[in-house]
A and B are shown apart, each in its own frame.
Chain A
Amino acid sequence: MDKHITTPITAEVTQNLYAGDYIYISGTVYVARDAAHKRFMEALDRGEELPFPIQDAIIYYMGPSPAREGRSIGSAGPTTASRMDKYAPRLLDLGQKAMIGKGKRTQEVIDAIIRNQAVYFAAVGGAGALLSKCIKASELVCYGDLGAEAVLKLEVEDFPVVVVIDKDGNNLYETAIRKYAK
């Protein structure tokens, strides 16, 4: 089913999202990948705050190509989510409600999704030019020294994703493959 949702992603929003739903997201999305997640963990270990409000936030696992003049961002498709599996449960337990990436997640992440009534979305990998058209604004939040791995705050409009793992732990990667395996 096609649905339109607006950030923040509260538990109320995730209640109505089911594995296989085609979703268009509008609103604020934070961008962070490997190196930024590592720094989040280090900050939390030191008892510091995260660089953006984590409650009901969406984190997009992504590292864009540089923007040409006059554009908000370059190519901007998802990166492989499993590299963030080590960090995701801790952030979900702190209130993060949604992740956008691509690829499989560990059982620990799936458990954290269920525990926190969160959601894992997949965007189409390798469609970074197309996806960049849904990103209306981009600003640096922190860790500019990480280059392509810096933390960004995006304003997106009808950003297309598919619900892969819903709040009950239903996993589209498993069910859809079974449907088409011959």
Chain B
Amino acid sequence: MIRTISTEEITKNIRQMCIEANHYLSPDMEKTLKDAVETEESPLGKKILNQLQENLMIAGEEMIPICQDTGMAVVFVEIGQEVHLEGELLEDAVNEGVRQGYVDGFLRKSVVGDPILRENTKDNTPAVIHYSIVAGDKVKLTLAPKGFGSENMSRVFMLKPADGIEGVKQAILTAVKDAGPNACPPMVVGVGVGGTFEKCALLAKQALTRPVDEHSQNPYIKELEEEMLEKINRLGIGPGGLGGTITALAVNINTYPTHIAGLPVAINICCHVNRHVVREI
């Protein structure tokens, strides 16, 4: 059965999701950040984590964005193959939602229209949109505004198969160490392993949208996530990079088949303001 969905509906939802994501963290992120206050050993680190708690409270109650960098809007659009979209072009509908959300929601416009000429587009469009066709008759939208303090510290490593899992571990630690205080720790580390050059980057970005209290279904990847979180937290970077035992809140790793000659690894670093809102239409 074909189900018709109006792209106007998509605009409306994206608008609300932009505003929601920038003022409230998802319950999994909120809980993990709260728990971190108890675990942190450094007094200054604890103080900073408490300030982040207070910051979240003020953001939600007074409608002030959690972070002034309200990000570039990354949108995952999963379209059920039984869906018929009606109305304006889907891409325009998504961008219109972003425009309305950022303008009406008093969010910062951080997008320049050309990477070299650098003129601000003044409405935070265009979004970065990833489409996929899935089973079913629904449209699932995931909106993840991405700040660039942490985005700038993200890395892609084209490892050799011989580098193996140790190479992957080294790549993750290198990226996190280099990021240090620049990425606003405690961070969330999204990792993509496998695929091609661009696929591993996309896997890493998707990994950031997975709840931080959920591990990979794959048992050895789950173990790797736990091991890497422990190793990262032993680096000493700490909240704000000012020393401490909570440098990361989670390491989420997604994998994909790859070529006999390669082992691509991407590390997408996100700050503690790891924003994502999911809605199904």
A residues at B contact (CB < 8 Å): 20, 22, 35, 62-68, 74-77, 79-80, 82, 102-104, 122, 124-130, 132-133, 146-149, 160, 162, 164, 172-173, 175-182
Contact = CB atoms under 8 A, between A and B. Distances in A.
B108 A162 contact: no
A160 B51 CA distance: 10
Contact of A75 (B48, B67, B238, B272): B67
A74 B181 contact: no
Nearest to B47: A22
A77 B63 contact: no
Nearest to B242: A176
A127 B108 contact: no
Contact of A148 (B66, B109, B118): B109
Interface string B159-195: 0000000000000000000001110100000000000
B184 to A, nearest CB: 3
Nearest to B65: A75
A63 to B, nearest CB: 6
A147 B118 CA distance: 12
Nearest to B231: A182
A179 B240 contact: no
Given A82-B182, A104-B181, A181-B236, 12 more contacts: A63-B68, A64-B68, A75-B67, A80-B152, A102-B149, A122-B240, A124-B51, A126-B67, A129-B59, A148-B109, A162-B242, A180-B238
A79 B238 contact: no
B84 interface: no
B32 interface: no
B235 interface: yes
A179 B240 CA distance: 15
B67 A102 contact: no
Contacts of B55: 124, 126-130
Contacts, number: 167
B86 interface: no
A146 B109 CA distance: 11
Interface of B: 41-42, 44-45, 47-48, 51-52, 54-56, 58-59, 62-70, 106-110, 118, 120, 122, 147, 149, 152, 180-182, 184, 234-238, 240-245, 271-273
B51 A127 contact: yes
B65 A74 contact: yes
A82 B178 CA distance: 13
A177 B235 contact: yes
Given A125-B184, A125-B271, A181-B235, A176 B243 contact: yes
8 tightest Cβ-Cβ pairs between the two chains A and B: A176-B243, A181-B236, A125-B184, A103-B182, A180-B236, A75-B68, A130-B55, A129-B64
Nearest to A160: B51
Most buried by A among B110, B149, B238: B149
B236 A177 contact: yes
A130 B67 contact: no
Contact of B42 (A80, A103, A175, A180): A180
Contacts of A66: 106-108
Contacts of B65: 65, 74-75, 128-129
Nearest to A102: B181
A65 B184 contact: no
Contacts of B241: 102-103, 122, 173, 177
Nearest to B273: A126
Contacts of A179: 42, 236, 243
A77 B243 CA distance: 20
B243 A180 contact: yes
A130 B58 contact: yes
B271 A126 contact: yes
28 contacts: A62-B68, A64-B68, A65-B64, A65-B68, A66-B108, A68-B63, A68-B64, A74-B106, A75-B64, A80-B152, A103-B149, A122-B181, A122-B240, A124-B48, A125-B271, A126-B147, A126-B271, A128-B67, A129-B62, A130-B58, A149-B120, A172-B243, A173-B242, A176-B236, A176-B243, A179-B236, A179-B243, A180-B236
Given A35-B118, A130-B54, A148-B110, A125 B66 contact: no
A74 B108 contact: yes
A65 B149 contact: no
A124 B48 CA distance: 7
